[in-house]
Amino acid sequence: MNTTKDISDYLWYTFRFQPNSSCNTPVLHVESHAHAAHAFVNDLHIGAAHGNHDVKVFTLEYPIPLQDDMNNISILSNMVGLPDSGAFMESKVAGLTQVEIQCDQNEVYNFTEYLWGYQVGLLGEKLQIYEEQNLEQVDWSSGTSLNQPLTWYKSVFDIPEGSEPLALNLSTMGKGEAWVNGQSIGRYWVSFLAPSGSPSQILYHVPRSFVEPSGNLLVLLEEDGGDPLGVTLVTVSTDDIKEKSSTPSPSIDTNSKYSLPDTRMRRGDLKFS
């Protein structure tokens, strides 16, 4: 977190590695105090892992394909914020704690104390492609490919008439962030389940002050993979909230769902260079 300085939730760790000829079944082993991490070898996404409610330190471990010559290893570490108050704040840490490439029990390469390369943030963040004036800085393609990690999606939508609150239903997505007309409406992590076995949140408020009657731009950064074609705009009714209720809960007007047409994607948000 000291490295990113609140500029981004994401931090790239990179290094290069040339294996010995005896390393036939390499496995990448990563231990982390962050919230999530993705691993790439020669720009190929290998896999991801994250912690949970009870175990904050997690392990990412996957077999990896290595070339005989030099290989580029990249690990994208991700945080979703830290407590900003409380005791012993100076002792809180986040990020990678151990990185190894294991060829077998007798041949292990430890890169924990290696000279790493670092880069803060994603290319799409740097270019601010969630704002309409910056959309043309990258190439977008039409398609229905689902479950693509680190993919940007965009769509244009109209809003229903009336004054009822609006929300995006992101129940078909995984983990990422959503912007409406360049304004962030928040991070989402639908694929991370609460102890009840359900996502803690699937509806994300879209203030009517953010939108126009038509032609509104929605941009999603999807980190894990999901189905953007299942995203809907809903109106929320508060008619059933009782004045004396201690735990009011707005209900979704299921007759007022609006699909988001013409979803386009920018696949694979890697490092700047």
Look at residue 272 and tell me if it is in a domain.
Answer: no
Q: Decide if 265 contacts 148 (C-beta within 8 A).
A: yes
Q: Decide if 195 contacts 230 (C-beta within 8 A).
A: no
**pLDDT, tens digit, for every residue of 5-50?**
778 899 999 999 998 878 889 999 999 988 999 999 999 999 999 9
**pLDDT, tens digit, for every residue of 201-244?**
999 999 999 999 999 999 999 998 888 888 999 988 766 433 33
pTM of the model: 0.84
Domain final position from 63, 94, 121: 121
Q: Verify that 143 and 210 share a domain, yes or no.
A: yes
Percent of the chain with pLDDT over 90: 52
266 CB neighbour count, 10 Å cutoff: 20
Answer whether residue 59 shows pLDDT above 90. yes
Q: Verify that 135 and 112 share a domain, yes or no.
A: no
CATH number at residue 226: 2.60.120
Minimum mean pLDDT range among 10-24, 132-146, 160-174: 132-146
Q: Which of 190, 193, 250, 258 is nearest to 220 (CA)?
A: 190
Domain final position from 103, 121, 139: 121
User: Which residues are CB-neighbours of 31 under 8 A, at least 6 positions away?
Assistant: 57, 58, 59, 60, 96, 97, 98, 99
User: Which residues are CB-neighbours of 219 under 8 A, at least 6 positions away?
Assistant: 129, 130, 152, 153, 154, 178, 179
* Domain housing 199: 124-267
